[in-house]
Amino acid sequence: MSSLSESEAKEFHSAYVTGLIGYVGIAIVAHYLLYVWKPWF
């Protein structure tokens, strides 16, 4: 399907998952800080 070898695909997947975890972590921290600043409940 793609031009990536299996090892390249695993490396890409690893980088993608690491980036996704970082993005979600930053989003959680940002939402927490916003809640501390201005609670919406």
Residue ranges per domain, the chain? 1-41
Task: Choose among 35, 11, 31: nearest CA to 23.
Answer: 31
pTM confidence score: 0.75
CB-based contact 23:30 (threshold 8 Å): no
The pLDDT, as a whole number, for residue 36 is 95
Residue 37 has pLDDT above 70, yes or no: yes
Kindly indicate the confidence band of residue 4, based on its pLDDT and cuts at 50, 70 and 90.
Answer: confident
Residue 14 has pLDDT above 90, yes or no: yes
Kindly indicate the confidence band of residue 41, based on its pLDDT and cuts at 50, 70 and 90.
Answer: low
Q: Which two tokens stand for residue 11?
A: 């490396």
Kindly indicate the confidence band of residue 2, based on its pLDDT and cuts at 50, 70 and 90.
Answer: confident
- Distance CA(37)–CA(30), nearest Å, equals 11
